[in-house]
Structure 1
């Protein structure tokens, strides 16, 4: 069995990609993971580096194209002196024993004539003959192939002017033209996902590739036909038929018919003009990109803070317009002078007359894309983006809601409306995996961008002060979602057990009156205070013994991130994005949402053992080091906006 190096080209990878890599990592002497994503998934990058020293992860910071990324990996393999290189897509994985079967292929001993040894890809629509152990083919797809590096040196590099699509077929044709053979081992299997494959009721297999991919497929396929029709006439005729079949399948079975057929026509025109490389405008843009922000939240809170951070740190290359709730005066005041124009209307969970008003107001703006913030505004926002014909970016911030009956309807609607969303941005990896598992999003059209927070001033307010009486703080809206009443009940239990403590609720909300009444009824006035909205939260964190988060659901709360930044121990309910950061008894304390006994037990542990709690607080600070950098958050949004606006232009 031969050994060698492996290359995997990544694009917005998720946790599933790690499992795919593990299916062949044990075989490779070295693995080069080339990340083509414009926005780095920092959690994935941290996880992939734990797979061992023979894996080298390279994030390019921009999408240079599949071919160029492959060439970069091949350069690294050539520098290492490897004779055979395994090329992989991120969506491909070998079953148990698959890579060993491929590497043991007898044809690999013929190093002078075999250019590629490929596995049998278990993909819809792929024909094969199991009675033949080895089968010589004209072309194969890239993933799972063992490439002869000497043949690569002789026939030349992958054509990076193709950018993506048909790169593998073009390389195989050159191999054949130089006398090298392309062999498939029909007993070495590879699980591979080609687009979003679906078998229609008529038996046809559709891939549901994006409109931009249809541009490249058409342009590059026609280019191959023109260059190779004399040497390979049968291949050229077959590719013409494939082009016609794909157009017919789009027309009959696929979504976004108009956009895909239009891009196929643009690809054909680009071929006639001799245009190659990335779509014009896919690089940096000289003119400012105009972004239409739509924010659902009725009062200024975490969503608004995230939006303000994006606007304030995006830089000069962007201009923003804002549509927000009439009731959210705090957001309008914070962004005054930072956005070009503002429209305040009653945004609903369904459709209302304000949608027409928003369309008439936004139509002349000529925005590049629309960024919707808020889970419950998806129906309204999707309708507006459709009326404006704008690509939609959606940041839900949280993926749950109070009314469970309505939530079930929203989940059904979300699966349908998600097809209109170009990219779903989650603030936690836990929520991202949940959406993928629910079938609402795919790994390719959702990504995680962590919140941005400013680093503490290590010369001043970062210095922790130990208060004479333990201080417990709760930062957040006093609303049903945050479940602050649970902490009031816990306070009553602690008083009964003769603990000394002070609790401060920071923030306002609809439940404040009821909570103050409960505090008076229980006689807890000497233990609990309500500060309302304050501007010096960071100062209060320096004197806090512990912060408590009792939420029923969360995205990834700013209050949690802020507390951990300052080394404050946190006690949090085991929900959503909290799990991205808090490991029980390691970087914080967890309890089941709504579990009063669990909350009280954690509070008692912190109050009885403050040294251990302080140690856990420091571990929490180390845990989030580098994850919530403000500039990283801003740069990720800048790249996302540019990529969406440019692909729309194309």
Structure 2
């Protein structure tokens, strides 16, 4: 079986981790290759991971010269399935589909109607284009059952949608610097303090405002806690202003983009995610490798992993009071932080390895090929 994966190449965060984790394991089971359209850190990390990847460089998004190159590649190599990831790849696939006779599948990594929520131009232009492109695919992989339901509710055929939860590579070695060295990088004194962190792009869908409001409430009664925010984004200026207005700048630190995420996870005690929409985020899986318990909004498929009170806590979207209450409780019961972190890693090892994820993909590919035959 030969499968060609198409992805932008400018991807960061969960999409990047997903592809690299998946391809590492897929290549042990089938013949799989990635083609991306931007040469960036994604390409470099994929090469470093030993993944079969090539760049078909686009001068800009509307550069369709890659179509003929892809047709030549697909026909020459005899791929059985074309598998896309993300808006750019979906757009290209829309033009590619009727010029090749191969089944095409795309993974729904996020709510595509919210992908460009913070950028007016992209929201007006790219969201409708991606919505149209998605309708052209033969099959879909949803990252969670809730995302499958979302697609069905929007008119996609249920029998064409598969569900595969994200998995993480538990075999590869992770690299990180010591906690003190990481904090010194940002001139932060974390001595005798519990460190709460959130690592996500700073845009509306990640709802950092709830994180900040909870931090404010906790800091009214204690100062033995600090909050780290890793990431950048369109909502950054507003969130920084909010921190300043609340006069908690001495306890909330903006780190900017952090490219060594495991150093971040190693430095924090509690991992937080306040998103209003997620599929099955890698920030929880990555944090679990260093036994970091998570407090997350109950969105997407997160409840499949986080069991409230066992390996973390779930809160409602926008509920800063609940987040503050959980943090206050953990500050008074610090042994629970370690215990739940250990439990989280155990849960991931049992159910959410990248090996399991790759095997599920192979089953789907096989079903598609058998159906076509």
TM range (shorter): 0.7 to 0.9
Residues 171-193 of structure 1: per-residue CA shift (max 9 Å, x gap): xxxxxxxxxxxxxxxxxxxxxxx
Kept after mapping to 2: 8 A contact 1:582/1:589: yes
Distance 1:502 1:427 in 2: 33
Distance 2:201 2:244 in 1: 20
Equivalent in 12, 27, 35 of residue 322 of structure 1:
35
Kept after mapping to 1: 8 A contact 2:164/2:360: no
Distance 1:416 1:343 in 2: 20
Deviation at 1:525, TM superposition (A): 3.3
The alignment status of 1:331 with 2:42, answered yes or no, reads: yes
Counterpart for residue 313 of structure 1: 25
Instruction: List aligned pairs for 1:203-602, cutoff 5 A.
Output: 285=1, 289-291=2-4, 293-296=5-8, 298-315=10-27, 317-324=30-37, 326=38, 329-336=40-47, 338-345=51-58, 353-354=62-63, 356-366=64-74, 367-374=79-86, 378=90, 380-402=92-114, 417-418=134-135, 420-436=136-152, 439-443=155-159, 445-454=161-170, 468-602=192-326
Distance 2:52 2:342 in 1: 38
Kept after mapping to 1: 8 A contact 2:287/2:293: yes
Kept after mapping to 2: 8 A contact 1:432/1:448: no
Counterpart for residue 237 of structure 1: none
Distance 2:27 2:130 in 1: 35
Distance 1:411 1:586 in 2: 41
Q: Report the RMSD for the aligned CA atoms in angstroms.
A: 3.8
Give 1 or 2 for the bigger CA radius of gyration. Answer: 1
Deviation at 1:436, TM superposition (A): 4.1
Question: Structure 2 vs 1, CA of residues 646 and 323 (structure 1 numbering), >3 Å: closer, same or farther?
Answer: farther
Deviation at 1:395, TM superposition (A): 0.4
Deviation at 1:526, TM superposition (A): 2.4
Distance 1:343 1:495 in 2: 50
Distance 2:70 2:146 in 1: 34
Distance 1:429 1:383 in 2: 29
Deviation at 1:515, TM superposition (A): 3.7
Deviation at 1:550, TM superposition (A): 0.9
Highest RCO, 1 vs 2 (Cα 8 Å, sep ≥ 6): 2
TM-score, L = length of structure 2: 0.77
Residues 329-386 of structure 1: per-residue CA shift (max 9 Å, x gap): 22222234743531233786xxxx43x3232221101233211112686455334323
Residues 383-406 of structure 1: per-residue CA shift (max 9 Å, x gap): 432333331111011135337897
Secondary structure in structure 1 of the residue aligned to 2:57: strand
Residues 549-605 of structure 1: per-residue CA shift (max 9 Å, x gap): 011211111111222343322111121122222233343212221222222222222
Kept after mapping to 1: 8 A contact 2:258/2:264: no
Kept after mapping to 2: 8 A contact 1:549/1:571: yes
Residues 142-177 of structure 1: per-residue CA shift (max 9 Å, x gap): xxxxxxxxxxxxxxxxxxxxxxxxxxxxxxxxxxxx
Distance 2:52 2:21 in 1: 12
Kept after mapping to 2: 8 A contact 1:472/1:545: yes
Instruction: List aligned pairs for 1:21-36, cutoff 5 A.
Output: none
Instruction: List aligned pairs for 1:110-125, cutoff 5 A.
Output: none
Counterpart for residue 180 of structure 2: none
Question: Structure 2 vs 1, CA of residues 626 and 331 (structure 1 numbering), >3 Å: closer, same or farther?
Answer: same
Distance 1:399 1:389 in 2: 28
Deviation at 1:548, TM superposition (A): 0.8
Kept after mapping to 1: 8 A contact 2:7/2:88: no
Distance 1:456 1:540 in 2: 18
Question: Structure 2 vs 1, CA of residues 340 and 505 (structure 1 numbering), >3 Å: closer, same or farther?
Answer: closer
Distance 1:385 1:313 in 2: 27
Kept after mapping to 2: 8 A contact 1:422/1:445: no
Distance 1:574 1:522 in 2: 27
Kept after mapping to 2: 8 A contact 1:451/1:633: yes
TM-score, L = length of structure 1: 0.47
Question: Structure 2 vs 1, CA of residues 467 and 619 (structure 1 numbering), >3 Å: closer, same or farther?
Answer: farther
Kept after mapping to 1: 8 A contact 2:36/2:53: no
Secondary structure in structure 2 of the residue aligned to 1:345: coil
- Runs (5+) with no aligned partner, structure 2: 178-189
Deviation at 1:528, TM superposition (A): 2.0
Distance 1:480 1:377 in 2: 24
Secondary structure in structure 2 of the residue aligned to 1:624: helix
Equivalent in 623, 627, 633 of residue 347 of structure 2:
623
Secondary structure in structure 2 of the residue aligned to 1:559: helix
Distance 2:273 2:200 in 1: 9
Secondary structure in structure 1 of the residue aligned to 2:351: coil
